[in-house]
Amino acid sequence: MAVSRQNALVPALYRVGEVYRELPDTVTLRLVPESGRRPPCAPGQFNMLYAFGVGEIAISISGEAADEGFLHTVREVGAVSTALARLAVGASVGVRGPYGTGWPAAQGADVIFVAGGLGLAPLRPAIRRVLAERRHYGRVAILFGTRHPAEMLYRQELEQWRRRLDVDVSVTVDHADTLWHGNVGVVPALIPRATFDPNNSVALVCGPEVMMRFTVSALREAGVPDERVYLSMERNMKCATGLCGHCQFGPEFICMTGPVMRFDRIASLFSTREA
Amino acid sequence: MKSLDSLLRELPFFAGLDEEHARLIAGCARNCRFEAGQYLFHEGDPADEFFLIREGRVALDVVAPGQDPIVFSTLGEGEVVGASWLVPPYRWMFDARAASPTHALGIDAACLRRKCEEDHDFGYLMMKRFLPVFVKRLHATRLQMFDVYRRG
């Protein structure tokens, strides 16, 4: 699934096919190749997106578009992400990838998705895959936490998932407003309330690292073994090919052995302070 | 109709409780039902009864003058509502409101505290069950305060 090393540093030219406004500072871009077909990708992988004249950053693939394009959800944080998020339909973008590891297939098991904030974006392709092939999985729980009801990513899609009778969708916010009648509190608190068989479950977790630490603790307490917990790790990815070392995490390069990593393989590094 | 001690032992919070201790707690318990919007208790009131949710959802909120109540936590099935009954001056620090029709077991706090004083083994056992719940809530509150989803 990974690109060949020979072409790994050469961006391909893509065009912005559509811009979906998700939140005031967040958009989803549909990127379509200027020529040929886009390479295959797996849920959990990322691309390097190049805003011409500004710079390049790693952005998770948040979906596969029906017309064979990539979907990327981008929040305005720094110069490059702001430039990408402000691209108009028809604008050109450089794309390298897909890179990295994907979420495990987990067929036959109960699947617990735990997402925090923008962490729902890298999980969305995996959620879509599981829901599209629902009969191959046991119980499915989607637990999503966000800061405030107004900052809820993919709200419409969450509502669609919630209407299904074969999936348990729980959403919580850290800070509620008076119109919010749902859960208030942090997303790890939803774990004891979900129904799953801890010994036959796979947990896929993505969000800010502090949130993932609390989530892992709650999963352990619920009896889910470390080797059944997968996290999407984020570090400063530059080359995405394991050459530059910017994304080093202990002995690992996140761009090569991540971003999706099995927790038991990184547990000892997880709470290590980094300079 | 189920007895209070069997209802108690069905709650995950009291899982593994022996019969004698279940009877001791049941002696302080009652079955309650709250309509959506009904308050279980109010800030400043004596913390003389706390609750274990059997079914439904409870919102904890604080009120600031001139503002609508701010919900800072919601609790669901199997969870304990209220910690102030454990520590002097035994007064609630927030409001608890049923966010949906809620069935709960109400535990007379003074009654349970007295039984804990009379039998320290039982008291220690109770502390071992309640303390982790409240420590976890403290950790969750810290995570909530970190504001981890704020813009980078």
Structural domains present in chain A: 12-99 (2.40.30.10), 110-270 (3.40.50.80)
* Angle value at C-alpha A172, between A185 and A101, nearest 5 degrees: 110
Summarised one tens digit per residue, pLDDT across range A46-57 is 999 999 999 999
Q: What is the mean pLDDT of residues B117-124?
A: 95
Largest CA distance in chain B: 55
Interface test with B, best of A184, A193, A216, A236 (most B CBs within 10 A): A184
Q: pLDDT at residue A239 above 90?
A: no
Note the pLDDT of residue B73.
95
Q: What distances in angstroms separate CA A46 from CA A33, A37, A55, A70, one per listed residue?
A: 16, 17, 16, 10
User: With contacts defined as CB-CB under 8 Å, which chain B residues touch A186?
Assistant: 140, 143-144
Q: Pick from A147, A192, A214: which is nearest to B149 by CB?
A: A147
A211 touches chain B (CB under 8 A): yes
Across the interface, do A184 and B76 touch by the CB < 8 Å criterion? no
Q: How confident is the model at residue A1 (pLDDT cuts 50, 70, 90)?
A: very low
Of the candidates A51, A59, A41, A45, the residue with the CA atom closest to the CA atom of residue A11: A51
- Rounded to a whole number, what is the distance in Å from the CA of A14 to chain B's nearest CA? 27
Contact B151, A77 (CB under 8 A): yes
B147 touches chain A (CB under 8 A): yes
Residue A117: closest CA among B89, B143, B64: B143
Tell me the average pLDDT across A163-177. Answer: 95
pLDDT at residue A42 above 90? Answer: yes
Most A CBs within 10 Å, among B148, B150, B151, to test the A interface: B148
Q: Which residues of A touch B140 (CB under 8 A)?
A: 185-186, 188-189, 214
Q: Which of B59, B78, B147 sits opposite A184 (nearest CB)?
A: B59
pLDDT grade, residue A4 (50/70/90)? low
For chain B, domains (ranges, CATH) are: 29-146 (2.60.120.10)
- pLDDT tens-digit profile of B23-67? 999 999 999 999 999 999 999 999 999 999 999 999 999 888 888
CB contacts of B70 in chain A (<8 Å) are 176
List of chain A residues whose C-beta atoms are within 8 Å of the C-beta of residue B144: 174-175, 185-186
Q: Which of A148, A174, A193 to mutate to test the interface with B (most CBs of B within 10 A)?
A: A174
A198 touching chain B per CB within 8 A = no
- Digit-coded pLDDT (tens) for A100-152: 999 998 899 999 999 999 999 999 999 999 999 999 999 999 999 999 999 99
Return the pLDDT at B152.
59
Please give the average per-residue pLDDT across A36-45, as a whole number.
92
DSSP string, chain B: ---HHHHHHHSGGGTT--HHHHHHHHTTEEEEEE-TT-EEE-TTSB--EEEEEEES-EEEEE--TTS--EEEEEE-TT-EE-SGGGSTT-B-SSEEEESS-EEEEEEEHHHHHHHHHH-HHHHHHHHHHHHHHHHHHHHHHHHHHHTTTS--
CB contact under 8 A, B149 and A174: yes
CA angle A205, A208, A211 (to 5 degrees): 70
Contacts of A118 in chain B (CB under 8 A): 149
Q: List CB contacts of A85: < 8 A, sequence separation 6 or more.
A: A25, A26, A27, A74, A75, A76
Determine the residue of chain A that is closest to B55 in CA distance.
A193
Q: Is A176 exposed, middle or buried (0-12, 13-18, 19+ CB in 10 A)?
A: buried
Give B23's contacts (C-beta < 8 A, 6+ positions apart). Answer: B5
List the single residue in B with minimal CA-CA distance to A182: B74
When the pLDDT of each residue in chain A is averaged and rounded to a whole number, the result is 92
